Structure 1
Amino acid sequence: MLKLWAGTLALEVIHQILNLVMTLLNRSVLFAQARQTAEEAAQDSGQKVSDSLIEVIGYGSVAFSSVLSLVIIVVLAVMLHLLNKGGKAAATGRRLWFAFSLFFAFRTLLVFLATPAGNEAPDWLIAGDGIIQILVGVGAVMGLIFSLKEETLDYTGELEQMRKLEQELAQERREKERERREQERKELMEKQQQQKQDAKAGKDEQEPRR
């Protein structure tokens, strides 16, 4: 599992690099989107949008997405280190990787559904990036499957936590059952006591008549 997720992370780094390269090669589309965003923002003020502003917006969006991707990769690397190290933090690492494995699997489906249009990047680069995304998805799903095995859950301590939770729930059910039986016993005793009192009262009423 750890090797699969480590390989997935390495391939994801390559994908992000290729994605950045393709974005820079496809600058016409990038600047067109930046121009549309800038014109919509300046529509109310009536100001003209300069080419320098469009370049700033375009490259700024690329820089922001690249930094965001880098942060995610660093977080995944840290979680993978915690998972490899073991201990209480290993469970957190496994759960985070579980969530991102689902994301990678979903993104792999989009690779088959999406069709690049107006892309100025070479075909071999687009195909190579698509293959890498598929490998990322496959590795993530395989790691996800292994992460659900009993040995993995025992390694992260989650299996012990689930056992403790089951014991607590079983103890809670036993206590509720005991309280229910105690309540039924009290109600039965009160009912029997009431019947005795009613019988005694009826007997006392009959004695003066005799």
Structure 2
Amino acid sequence: MTENLGVVGKNSPRRSGVERVVNAPLPTVYGKFQAIGYQDHDRGDEQVALVYGDIAADGVLTRLHSECLTGDAFGSQHCECGDQLASSLRAVVAEGGGVVVYLRGHEGRGIGLLAKLRAMALQAEGLDTVEANLALGLPVDARDYGAAAAILHDLGVRSVRLMSNNPRKREALMRHGIKVTEQVPLLIEPSENNITYLRTKRERLDHHLPHLDAVAHWS
């Protein structure tokens, strides 16, 4: 994944779907990745796939990571997103190859940053994450994984070992033509700040989080 594709010029014709725009080396604290940038012409988002090593067509260790400014950048303990991102990057390096697709436009399960903050304010008043979205008149989960599947197709990936606790993410990928040969748990140690959020994800959003049983004493 070392080809330098350059940058599409401003006068390039608009296309539908996801278009590969640029490929650049990205050294990180986890290892040296290739950052492959895409333009999602259908939704208007800029996306990036972080590719480590030489990836095969099948059984590629893969993470589809929904953008989370508060967790990924600010280290919020309201969720486990930042730790999941770091863990997935470490995992593909340890594997010797893999892909982390960072999905812009997925903030707050697709409702956007400010709406997510409003939902968090309602959660501080006692609503859970599902109730808060509904109280704002917003969908519980508005994410779409079509762009993620298109990116994997562009990378030549036919099947993945998906790092996720969310069965709906697996189902969405398969609907878009990417086979999921294994769902790899991505379990982060909970804290008192996110235990209620995580329990809601397990009980109301069907996330597989068996490790929460060990902290049943937390209210």
If the TM-score is normalised by the length of the shorter chain, which range does it land in? under 0.3
Q: Identify the structure with bigger relative contact order (alpha carbons < 8 Å, sequence gap 6+).
A: 1
Task: Specify which structure has the higher proportion of strand.
Answer: 2
The TM-score, its normalising length taken from structure 1, stands at: 0.24
- Greater helix content: 1
TM-score (norm. length: structure 2): 0.23
Q: Which has the larger radius of gyration?
A: 1
